[in-house]
Amino acid sequence: KKRIGVMTSGGDSQGMNGVVRSVVRMSIHMGCEPYAIYEGYDGLVQGGDLIKQMKWDDVRGFLSRGGTLIGTKRCMEFYERPGRLVAAKNMILKGIDALIICGGDGSLTGADKFRSEWPSLLQELVEKGDLTQEAVEPYKHLNICGLVGSIDNDMSGTDATIGCFSSLERICEMVDAVFDTAASHKRGFVIEVMGRHCGWLALMASIATGADYVFIPEKPPAPGWEDEMCQIVTSHREWGKRRTIIIISEGAQDTELEKITADQVVKVLTDRLKLDTRKTVLGHIQRGGLPSYYDRWLSTLQGVEAVNAILDSTPDKPTPVITIRENKIERSNLEECVKLTKSVATAIKEKNFEKAMHLRDVEFKE
Ligand code: F6P
């Protein structure tokens, strides 16, 4: 029976448990044996009890739980070849030559590298006498499939990453809560949201909550932003608004870009408009809590598709990543998606913001 490993890697996101549940049950349904790799790549490197066979009942109740119940870690050892060598050995000892990984672009790039290196890793293990030629013979090719789990929605090639809509919902709830207290005191609030180098969460949250102004990394403030922001806030106040909400993406404060910080925005509102203004950093609240219905749905369907992709994969096919475009679950080329994601980051670094915005919109087919 084919053994399929499933793991969650990088920062957790809502919906990762849905992926594990879906992969475990679909694997069993397809006559395979699923294995959970606990603690991300660390589980592969440590082996032993961190690689555990999963039965149908082991994932009962997973769908509605936040975080990742099989753990995750940003594992530095796996990013070096010696770490990957041990990981390959542990997999062969468990009879696993297929991996489904749910994580961000860094975790998925690591997986793709592992796959391309696999034959040379096996050869090295045989040469060193760690494994015999007979032991590695049945596992000549490593099959990998990626699923994008991240609250940031920062992967090109997919309309939504698993977790981004739950996080957006959480942010909106929190901003609504701040609204109440802000309106009571006629205060201003500058609310910092996560997203790493991607402004999706901030932009969507600002539209969904009717915020007064938003800062995102893809379109940093132009010189004179203070005047523009103050003029907008003043006109909103004149129309009767009792509170001011400014949303700032953590990535918009990247010091390599136009230097802008939440504190600076607070100061502008306080000094120029004499607004009693506070800063609120939402932090990891955005990553916790129940997955939304959308993430339960997305993780389930994508988990099913990931198992199908593994069963269809051949050594000559590029590593797939499961995406969603225009509401259709699809298989895309992992390397291309990662490449496009990186070119957005590069465009932002080079301050070519128009290109970054354009690349974020690019649709491409496998
Ligand atoms: O990638 C998800 C994310 O939550 C980002 O939005 C944020 O920048 C980062 O992870 C925080 O990482 P950590 O949990 O390691 O502090």
Contact 5, 100 (CB under 8 A): yes
What's the CA gap between 289 and 32, in Å, rounded?
32
Report which of 127, 112, 83, 46 is spatially closest to residue 333, judged by C-alpha positions: 112
Where residue 135 falls among pLDDT bands split at 50, 70, 90? very high
Tokens 């090639």 — which residue?
A: 157
In this structure, the number of other CB atoms found within 10 A of the CB of residue 193 comes to 32
Say how far residue 288 (Cα) sits from the centre of its chain.
13
88 lines ligand 1 (CB under 6 A): no
162 lines ligand 1 (CB under 6 A): no
Atom 9 (ligand 1) nearest CA:
196
* DSSP letter, residue 76: S
Share of the chain above pLDDT 70, in %: 97
CA of 11 to the centre of ligand 1 (A): 6
Cα separation of the two ends of the chain: 30
CA of 196 to the centre of ligand 1 (A): 7
Q: Which residue has the higher pLDDT, 176 or 74?
A: 176
Residue 342: pLDDT over 70: yes
What's the CA gap between 146 and 113, in Å, rounded?
12
Residue 27: pLDDT over 60: yes
Q: Which residue has the higher pLDDT, 269 or 347?
A: 269
What's the CA gap between 249 and 136, in Å, rounded?
48
What is the reported pLDDT for 365?
Answer: 41
118 membership: H or E segment, kind and range:
helix 105-127
What is the reported pLDDT for 362?
Answer: 58
Report which of 164, 167, 196, 108 is spatially closest to residue 298, judged by C-alpha positions: 164
Measured CA angle at 196 (ends 8, 278), to 5 deg:
125
Q: Which atom of ligand 1 is nearest to the CA of 195?
A: 6
Atom 14 (ligand 1) nearest CA:
11
For residue 188, list its beta bridge partners: 244, 277
- Which residues, in sequence order, are CB contacts of 145 under 8 Å at separation 6+? 98, 99, 100, 101, 306, 309, 310, 313, 319, 320, 321, 322
CA of 55 to the centre of ligand 1 (A): 31
What is the reported pLDDT for 257?
Answer: 57
- Which one of 12, 97, 112, 152 is the catalytic residue? 152
Q: What are phi and psi of 192, to 5 degrees?
A: -95, 130
What is the reported pLDDT for 355?
Answer: 84
152 labelled catalytic: yes
Average pLDDT over residues 256-268: 85
Across the chain, mean pLDDT equals 94
Atom 10 (ligand 1) nearest CA:
11
Report which of 171, 135, 136 is spatially closest to residue 152, judged by C-alpha positions: 171
Q: Which atom of ligand 1 is nearest to the CA of 10?
A: 1
170 lines ligand 1 (CB under 6 A): no
Report which of 141, 167, 142 is spatially closest to residue 154, judged by C-alpha positions: 167
What is the reported pLDDT for 75?
Answer: 82
Q: For residue 194, say whether it is annotated as part of any ligand binding site.
A: yes
Own/partner long-range contacts of 118-121 (Cβ < 8 Å, ≥24 apart): 118/88, 118/142, 121/84, 121/85, 121/88
* DSSP letter, residue 249: E
CA of 105 to the centre of ligand 1 (A): 13
196 lines ligand 1 (CB under 6 A): yes
**Would you say the ipTM is above 0.90?**
yes
Average pLDDT over residues 60-81: 94
Our mutation pick for probing the ligand 1 site, out of 166, 287, 341, counting the most ligand atoms within 8 A of Cβ, is: 287
Q: For residue 243, say whether it is annotated as part of any ligand binding site.
A: no
Contact 144, 111 (CB under 8 A): yes
What is the reported pLDDT for 133?
Answer: 96
CA of 287 to the centre of ligand 1 (A): 9
CA of 195 to the centre of ligand 1 (A): 7
What's the CA gap between 325 and 338, in Å, rounded?
16
What's the CA gap between 178 and 297, in Å, rounded?
30
What's the CA gap between 65 and 141, in Å, rounded?
34
Average pLDDT over residues 325-333: 95
145 membership: H or E segment, kind and range:
strand 143-148
Q: pLDDT tens across 269-291, in order?
A: 999 999 999 999 999 999 999 99
What is the reported pLDDT for 76?
Answer: 86
Where residue 258 falls among pLDDT bands split at 50, 70, 90? low
151 lines ligand 1 (CB under 6 A): yes
Q: For residue 170, say whether it is annotated as part of any ligand binding site.
A: no
310 lines ligand 1 (CB under 6 A): no
- Which residues, in sequence order, are CB contacts of 116 under 8 Å at separation 6+? none
150 lines ligand 1 (CB under 6 A): yes
171 lines ligand 1 (CB under 6 A): no
Q: What are phi and psi of 248, to 5 degrees?
A: -130, 125
What is the reported pLDDT for 256?
Answer: 59
What is the reported pLDDT for 333?
Answer: 94
* DSSP letter, residue 338: H
Task: Count the alpha carbons within 13 Å of 105 in the hemisphere toward its beta carbon.
Answer: 22
**Radius of gyration in angstroms for the set of CA atoms belonging to the chain, rounded to a whole number:** 23
Q: For residue 286, say whether it is annotated as part of any ligand binding site.
A: yes
